[in-house]
Structure 1
């Protein structure tokens, strides 16, 4: 499974928690492997939950709308129970012979009593799990103001504590399965970058480059989540929508691209140049890479995010860009784009063995555009493991 059960158990024991309720799309996925569609398509109002007990962390309960409760069949682990709320119809004519999979869906979406609201469904699930009078941790980030009080009103014996940050702490150290998924996502992003470089020729537009990236990523089973690809000086406004600016010889192509595979993120950056790059681009790219290289070489368990920030920026300065400045030069990555640890000035959060750091050194300058190197690496006590394979030097296209 994805979740680091050892860390989940550790913080539950430290806090004396009998159960956990996950409410965000990331944390529900982390505990169940279910990408709750209601949380994605209705990000402000959708409700879905995963509930686990301390003595059965690997057997979550799943709560979603009656329409979406079929997603329990997709779980990466054994589901202890599923409760759907609201009204939705799946017709079952007399005499239809059901598969085992269909029988499970009938039990939760046809035969089960109607539960009117998400809150009612959570209350029912807590009762089934034996948590209705227990001390539980609630992922408060995915519920609205007043929700905890409404939950306590329904279950007066419930002792509710907020644990969103604790769940982030648990997710900080990755399992082997998580590392495989992050690596697969990075590989998909690399396929997209290679496809764009293969298409690059005079006259091709930013819009065409972005479409090619997203087509290639989809072709290997990933979902493009952001496709920041800019030509030349346009990179200084890298988050703007792709334009009809056409590629010319001598232009740089800046990539800062992200995609998801199996629920896990990749976020990598490169620069290509169609023909001979300018001396300034060569020098600045080398300096940005030097910063990432030093971070990759020297990051170790026990180092803080602030210390990693300082040595990365110092390496860029020493490599020839003394005025380089940044608000951050990286972040953890996993089921969420920005997991812990953040590589920011003064950050005291420490690296641990098993953390995946997405190190990056972006530089934006009017008239030049954007220069950036970005890769994920796994922190280990015996040397760090880069999770990408694409050439990290400035890519020159003939």
Structure 2
């Protein structure tokens, strides 16, 4: 499992926590390796929990609907317990001999305890684990409004606290397996970008190039999440759909991302179909200068604000003196925006093993979008890019 359990348990010790409850799609995946169907298909109402206790951090306790109990078979760490709530029917043939996996599913989804709701299932799990008087951090971002108050009433001896920040803080430092996954999804995303540039020609449409990117990454096992492609001055409205074809002399802007094995990519590049204008070349070089400064000077202990300031100043010095931004990057992992955020007021600090997805976008009416964006790993001995695509403004066609 990719989760940084050593960091999580150290944080639990610091805060005096006995248990952590993950409730969101991303955090459940982080602790279990399970891409919960319920949490993805029903993002506003689905409930699937992973409970990690300080005394047995290498195991998880699961709370799932009986419908989704079959996903317990895909959990990567050992499962200490699992309870299925609600109603769902699976029948057993008269002469059926169940396999080990089927027996396990039968116990959870048919023959085991049957709490009526997810809340009842969590209370059952906490009580069975002896946590009635424990200090418990619950990820508040994946439960309905007022849920924690009702949980406190149901387990009055427990000290129930907000837990989203505990898990977000843990995810700031990536394990070697997480970095491997981030590098793999970045490599695949670059393959999609290469497919787009190979298909770029006068007359091609935005929709055709979007399809080129998405079919490429899907064929390799990833799931596209956003595919922003615009031509020329249309880049200033990069999230809108355009019917205009690509013309010689246009810039081709891509800001694209997908998910592979639970981990996100977010990469941006700029190309030109034929020779670009001197201004586009100059502005793009300034954006690259900002990313180069960040890549060269980011260090463990630096705040998001400090990294923001030095990168923005580099862009201004390189030829865009009026450059301004609300952020120039973010951490990346099981969420597209993991800590640290690179903003003008963020005092959160980079650490050894933080992966920064750094970007210097610029949008101007009449010019379009000018952007470079790449992930890199922060280390005391020098930072490492996870991408290999050429970062200069490249002429295609």
Deviations, residues 18-69 of structure 1 (Å, cap 9, x unaligned): 1111111111111111111111111111111110110111211111211111
Q: How does 1:146-157 map to 2 (within 5 A)?
A: 146-157=146-157
- Are the equivalent residues in 1 in contact too, given 2:32–2:60 (CA < 8 A)? yes
C-alpha distance in structure 2 between counterparts of 1:67 and 1:259, whole Å: 28
**SS of alignment partner, residue 229 of structure 1:** strand
**SS of alignment partner, residue 160 of structure 1:** strand
C-alpha distance in structure 2 between counterparts of 1:205 and 1:91, whole Å: 51
Deviations, residues 323-367 of structure 1 (Å, cap 9, x unaligned): 110000001111111111110003111111000001100000011
Aligned to 2:83: 83
Deviations, residues 302-339 of structure 1 (Å, cap 9, x unaligned): 11110100110011011111111000000111111111
C-alpha distance in structure 1 between counterparts of 2:146 and 2:116, whole Å: 19
**SS of alignment partner, residue 20 of structure 1:** strand
Q: How does 1:323-338 map to 2 (within 5 A)?
A: 323-338=322-337
Aligned to 2:54: 54
C-alpha distance in structure 2 between counterparts of 1:222 and 1:168, whole Å: 24
Deviations, residues 273-319 of structure 1 (Å, cap 9, x unaligned): 11111111111111101100110011001111101001100110111
**SS of alignment partner, residue 183 of structure 1:** helix
C-alpha distance in structure 2 between counterparts of 1:36 and 1:130, whole Å: 26
Aligned to 1:218: 218
- Are the equivalent residues in 1 in contact too, given 2:83–2:113 (CA < 8 A)? no
C-alpha distance in structure 2 between counterparts of 1:157 and 1:369, whole Å: 59
Q: Does 1:369 align with 2:348?
A: no
C-alpha distance in structure 2 between counterparts of 1:391 and 1:129, whole Å: 53
Aligned to 1:284: 283
Q: How does 1:177-216 map to 2 (within 5 A)?
A: 177-216=177-216
C-alpha distance in structure 2 between counterparts of 1:64 and 1:276, whole Å: 57
**SS of alignment partner, residue 124 of structure 2:** helix
Aligned to 1:322: 321
Aligned to 1:34: 34
TM-score of the superposed pair, with normalisation by structure 2: 0.98
- Are the equivalent residues in 1 in contact too, given 2:85–2:121 (CA < 8 A)? yes
TM-score of the superposed pair, with normalisation by structure 1: 0.97
Aligned to 2:377: 378
Q: How does 1:1-398 map to 2 (within 5 A)?
A: 1-240=1-240, 242-398=241-397
Q: CA RMSD of the aligned region, Å?
A: 1.1
Structure 1 residue 125, shift from structure 2 partner: 1.2
- Are the equivalent residues in 1 in contact too, given 2:84–2:113 (CA < 8 A)? no
C-alpha distance in structure 2 between counterparts of 1:164 and 1:28, whole Å: 12
Structure 1, unaligned runs of 5 or more: none
Structure 1 residue 103, shift from structure 2 partner: 2.0
Structure 1 residue 96, shift from structure 2 partner: 1.6
Count of matched residue pairs: 397
- Are the equivalent residues in 1 in contact too, given 2:327–2:343 (CA < 8 A)? yes
